[in-house]
Amino acid sequence: MSSAAGGRSGSLLFALSVGTILAAVVVSPWIVRAAMLILAVDSTTPIEWVPDTYAPRRAYESFTAEFESGDVVVASWPGCTLDAPVVERFTAAATGPDAPRDRSGRPWFETVISGGQVMARLTDPPLSLDPAVAVERLQGVLVGADGRTTCLVIPFTREGLADRRRAVAWLRETLTTVVGVPPPDLHMAGPVIDNVSVDEASAGTLGTYGGPAALVILALSWWSLRSFRYALLVFLVSMFCVGLCFLSLWAWGDRMNPVIIVMPLLVLTLGVSGGIHLVNYLVEASRSGPPQTVAARAIGLGWLPCSLSAGTTALGLASLVVSELEPIRVFGFHGAVGVMATLLALFLIVPGMFQRWPIGRAVGADPSAAASVVISAGIVRRAGPIVLLAAAAMLVAVLGVPGIRTSVAIDTLFTPESKVIGDYRWLESEIGPLAPVEVVLRFGDASEIRPAERLAMASEVADILADIPAVTGVVSAATFLPDLGDASGTRTAARKAIAARRLEQNLAKLDELSVVRDVAGEQLWRVTARTSVLSGIDYGALLDIVEARVQPVLAAHGGESRGVRAACTGVMPLINAIQNTLLHDLFSSFLSACAVITVIMMLVERGVLAGLVAMVPNVFPMILLFGLLGWTRMALDIGSVMTASIALGMAVDGTFHFLTFFRRALKQPQGAPPEATHERRMMAVQEAYRHSAGALTQSAVVCGLGILVFAASSFAPSRRFAGLLSLLVAAALVGDLVLLPALLTGRLGRTFRPLRSHG
């Protein structure tokens, strides 16, 4: 290319950079507004993550429509007793004429339930239970072991759930003022509190540690590039693309959730990593050839590996859109948009700026070149042992994979000393277990089973549920009715007949207590088993046990032939099913991403075996991670699985860049044999090491240490995500700079062919 032509191309690239920057400035107000709107709205709840056709959701929503909302807050405090007058004052404030409402005037809360209210219903006519008997039956459910301490159960309406942060804030403020309890002594729990706590913790983590992490990434980028203006340029371009993700979320009408809270960090780190590599190509081009064509030569050398790196990462993220869970689809789609936006923005802005204001040759020189030569020479000499050691490590790790276990319990989301865990611990100690598993006996209108036998069936179901080790309390219609006794005889039979007639007359009272309901075409009898939230129960397995034990009871009473069937559900089993599906989808998407990237690697490297060899250093970190989790029996949560997909994209990034320089160095003068000799491969590995090791190391340091800032978070998923991802980034660097060169030096390196041209 002539100097004049090179000058014209440089001017065009600079004009393109300036135009792109001006366009970014123009759209920035919309980006800021979109980010504020997205972050201000409550995240979606787990129930909203799945479609209406999701079977566990259908069962649970059917239950809540027939009985009561499972979206409740359970509140108590020292001094919250059965006869405490403050309970009535709070109930009046929450459900009276001055109760909080949405803009349309619809209330936030349904009828508040307290132990004192239920006690009054049990002891007043027509049930007229003895007070001591009533207290005994409510212990572990609404009354504590001391027979006095009680709690409030506050069901939320749909309107309250839509604005749950403000609703929970109102509850806290009202309880501390009306009841007079200091905030540390107020204990609140339940599904709504779980959702709000996760929202606050995830948003708080991003707000608290996002800024410091960004500053660390900027400072390390400066250290890597040894040019503040280019470190700042790459950082600002990446931050702009993070903003584009928020704009994309807003434009598509999607909402934040705990899964996609890591998306800004992902886009920022991948953008900065890509920027470091692009500047490295520009510096490389500036060391040879005329300065007028630096940007054009760098683009010619770097467009393919950079595009493949971003493209394969985006494809891996895009594979998530096939999930039936909303957070996974949203994360995959908008993450892919952000990654591709960083690629486009970096190439539109950075080369043109570099063409006009290049980094000086002395500054751009790599002072670690001598160290790279020594390290690469050592790897080449010990290639065989390195490959064997890596293979042995992966084999040991694979053997540990079957030991992987998942956990979605609330105590895996927060530290033991956190407020939410402390509140659960206090409430379960002073009142009783909080997680309900519901069994509903459904009697059709044509059923010949009389109410007395229906009560007996509910009692039998309650008894068999109470025998399950994980169950610590059961509530059914029998809880609220006098004991008929088991004695036989004429007088007892007459008493039972009278009680049966009273039962039929008093079914309306049981309807008020939400244990018996008449709906269109059916009468429903509810049995609730309580389990501990903090015991680490697998609610899916528990639900299977419950269903297996309920069926014999139905069969003994005629089952569907007599018009009765049973349904089992519960908010915790539903959330457990949703989150297990979430983990399964993340695993599946990771495997599909591996498959897609492997095919692309085969096409790029022009060979099936070459593509497979190139994937070894990319899966190396993930195999070690899952093997470690399996051998140590550490619980695998959502954040842990997400690290694998992100680290895969980062590892592939480094592999493409290393192989670009390796295959470029394999080129020989015309007439040389096409098959690269062992000596040529060793020299090519050392040459690739000299050119790319610095940039790969700098990129890993920037990403790893920037992410590690989040390890200080009290939100356990963020802390585990940061720690594991930092380890994976380090392992990926080892894979790219130790394992990959060793593979290329050996016989497997013969499968790689020289690049046809590097511009």
Structural domain includes residue 14: no
In this model, does residue 409 exceed pLDDT 80?
A: no
Would you place residue 364 in the very low, low, confident or very high pLDDT band (cuts 50, 70, 90)? very low
- Copy the structure tokens of residue 271: 């953008």
pLDDT of residue 106: 87
Q: Do 398 and 485 sit in the same domain of this protein?
A: no
What average pLDDT is seen over the chain?
82
Q: Do 387 and 501 sit in the same domain of this protein?
A: no
Tokens 């991670």 belong to residue: 625
SS3 250: helix
Structural domain includes residue 669: yes
Q: Do 384 and 506 sit in the same domain of this protein?
A: no
Q: Do 133 and 187 sit in the same domain of this protein?
A: yes
pLDDT of residue 365: 44
Q: What is the CATH number of the domain that holds 517?
A: 3.30.70
In this model, does residue 362 exceed pLDDT 50?
A: no
pLDDT of residue 133: 86
Would you place residue 498 in the very low, low, confident or very high pLDDT band (cuts 50, 70, 90)? low
Q: Number of structural domains, the chain?
A: 3
Tokens 């909302």 belong to residue: 69
Q: Do 548 and 613 sit in the same domain of this protein?
A: no
- Copy the structure tokens of residue 235: 């950082």
pLDDT in tens, 160-189: 888 888 899 999 999 888 888 888 999 999
SS3 73: strand
CA distance 214 to 242: 12
In this model, does residue 1 exceed pLDDT 70?
A: no
Rounded average pLDDT over 43-64: 82
pLDDT in tens, 254-274: 887 777 777 888 888 888 888
Structural domain includes residue 260: no
Rounded average pLDDT over 298-303: 83
In this model, does residue 345 exceed pLDDT 90?
A: yes
Structural domain includes residue 236: no
pLDDT of residue 473: 82
Amino acid identity at 125: P
In this model, does residue 492 exceed pLDDT 60?
A: no
The CA-atom distances, in angstroms, between 697 and each of 448, 705, 737 are 76, 12, 9
- The residue among 162, 195, 228 that closes a domain is 195
Q: Do 546 and 459 sit in the same domain of this protein?
A: yes
Rounded average pLDDT over 621-625: 85
Q: Do 650 and 542 sit in the same domain of this protein?
A: no
pLDDT in tens, 416-462: 888 889 999 999 999 988 888 899 999 998 888 888 888 889 999 99
CA distance 329 to 309: 21
Would you place residue 509 in the very low, low, confident or very high pLDDT band (cuts 50, 70, 90)? low
In this model, does residue 342 exceed pLDDT 90?
A: yes
pLDDT of residue 441: 93
Pair type for strands 516-519 and 471-475: unpaired
Q: What is the DSSP letter of 177?
A: I
CA distance 134 to 126: 14
pLDDT of residue 485: 53
pTM: 0.79
Q: Do 617 and 666 sit in the same domain of this protein?
A: yes
Tell me whether the omega of the peptide bond preceding residue 184 falls within 30 degrees of 0, making it cis. no
| Cβ atoms 267, 242 nearer than 8 A | yes
pLDDT of residue 461: 93
Rounded average pLDDT over 729-752: 87
- The residue among 168, 195, 222 that closes a domain is 195
Q: Do 463 and 558 sit in the same domain of this protein?
A: yes
Amino acid identity at 224: S
Four-point Cα dihedral 90, 92, 97, 98, nearest 10 = -20
pLDDT in tens, 365-374: 455 566 777 7
pLDDT in tens, 208-257: 888 888 899 999 889 888 889 899 999 999 999 999 999 999 999 888 77
Structural domain includes residue 416: no
Q: Do 757 and 616 sit in the same domain of this protein?
A: yes
Least confident of 40-49, 395-404, 465-474, 486-495: 486-495
pLDDT of residue 494: 52
CA distance 732 to 651: 5
Q: Do 393 and 447 sit in the same domain of this protein?
A: no
| Cβ atoms 359, 227 nearer than 8 A | yes
Q: What is the CATH number of the domain that holds 636?
A: 1.20.1640.10
Residue 544 belongs to domain spanning: 435-531+538-569
Rounded average pLDDT over 515-540: 85
CA distance 74 to 80: 12
Structural domain includes residue 213: no
Structural domain includes residue 464: yes
Sequence-distant (6+) residues with CB within 8 A of 501 are none
- The residue among 147, 164, 195 that closes a domain is 195
pLDDT of residue 376: 79
Q: Do 448 and 504 sit in the same domain of this protein?
A: yes
Q: Is 745 left (phi over 0), alpha (psi -120 to 50) or beta?
A: alpha
The pLDDT > 90 percentage for the chain reads 17
In this model, does residue 576 exceed pLDDT 60?
A: yes
Structural domain includes residue 226: no
Burial class (CB in 10 A: 0-12, 13-18, 19+), 4: exposed
